[in-house]
Structure 1
Amino acid sequence: MAAKGFSAVGLNEILVAAGVPKGSFYHYFGSKDAFGEALLKDYFDSYLAGVDEIFAMGDLTFAERLIAYFRQWQENQGALDCQGKCLAVKLGAEVADLSEAMRAVLKSGTAGIIGRLTEAIENGVADGSLTIPDDPRSLAETLYHLWLGASLRAKIVRSTAPFDSAMVATRRLLDRPSS
């Protein structure tokens, strides 16, 4: 699904890739949409655990942790000819209008990311590594939207240039000149 999208992948393709019979699938999931919902929940749980690891790096200031997070985003999404691995980018626009349950998971998962960014920005202000003119939540939302857009643009142009631009803007917003 990360490569083709949700609608383009048929149930049989999912079953073959997972190596399970159709009956087993329906034992756990009532529909392909229910599978998509569970897939997204698992994805965001794993993703947020990775974010927590970065923001727990005690040898870095919170400003440095934020830059490390966005560097990792750049590396992950810049891989595979900029086709990335982010299900929020890949499935967000596709399924938001098709499945209310999956849209709700996307909303909750992305809110979790923005919440983590907000907390890191607040901690950066507290540790003195960040001085920001905006409130932390607003800045976190702006940064997330910036990188989500850069990811989509990178997929379209198959170039990492949008990530380079996003990093320049991120450093400017965080008042962190390039090092």
Structure 2
Amino acid sequence: MSIQSTTRDMLISEGLRQMLAHGYEGIGIGPVLSAMNVPKGSFYYFFKSKDDFVLSILDAYEARYRTMREALLADPNLTSLQKLDRYFEVIEEELLDHHPSGGCLYGVLAQTVTARDAAIRTRLARSYETWHAAIVEILEGARKAGEIDATSDTAELATDIIDAYEGTLIRMKATDDPAAFRRFRTRTIPRLLSVAMVQSTATP
């Protein structure tokens, strides 16, 4: 890896850390550069503006979690619902490691990005769509394998899971309660899935 690539990756990593902690409006280029001991000229060599920097952070964030999901989906030893649980288990481990500064970049940006940042809002919406599609893919695998009812609306179920996930992270931030995510993973998701599983278990 070149020095330039390393510097760019370091800036993105620090930008992500600060954005999760302070939101879009709270992140400044100066603190990022100071934390990495990088001159301002180097920043503008890699990024045209703050918004371009944020978009690059979004790209890197999405790519990281896409790689993680793809690895889980490729594991032949896990059922689809086990993959779903393992996916959120990995996220839980990361959140606990970085508590209280951790979180979901999508949720943080959705709450803090200003109305004038159309490019970021558009990119953020696309990120949510990609994430939603990935959860649907896992649930479709569960539906086809008979883990949930064949008539289950996997798109709606994925939406419910994501909405509950984002609400959980807000609660974690508001109450400083890291156990909230454990409840989401071990109680909320199973309850959402149980609605889709009731018909399956009731069918002779």
Provide TM-score, normalisation by structure 2: 0.77
Rounded Cα–Cα distance in structure 2 between residues aligned with 1:58 and 1:18: 41
Match of 1:106 in 2: 124
Rounded Cα–Cα distance in structure 2 between residues aligned with 1:153 and 1:133: 32
* Residue 102 of structure 1, CA deviation: 1.6
Match of 1:41 in 2: 59
2:133 aligned partner, one-letter code: G
Contiguous gaps of at least 5 residues in structure 1: none
Q: What fraction of aligned residue pairs are identical, expressed as a percent? A: 28
Q: Which structure is higher in helix share? A: 2
1:1-179 matched pairs, under 5 angstroms: 1=18, 2-95=20-113, 97-131=115-149, 134-167=152-185, 168-175=187-194
Deviation by residue 1:98-123 (Cα, 9 ceiling, x = unmatched): 52222222211121111000011001
Contact persistence 1:131–1:174 (CA under 8 A): no
Provide TM-score, normalisation by structure 1: 0.87
Between Structure 1 and Structure 2, whose CA radius of gyration is higher?
2
Contiguous gaps of at least 5 residues in structure 2: 1-17, 198-204
State the number of aligned residues.
Answer: 176
* Residue 31 of structure 1, CA deviation: 1.2
Larger RCO: Structure 1 or Structure 2 (Cα < 8 Å, ≥ 6 residues apart)? 1
Contact persistence 1:76–1:85 (CA under 8 A): no
Structure 1 vs Structure 2 CA RMSD: 2.0
Distance 1:98 1:159, change over 3 A: farther
Distance 1:54 1:4, change over 3 A: same
Contact persistence 1:78–1:159 (CA under 8 A): no
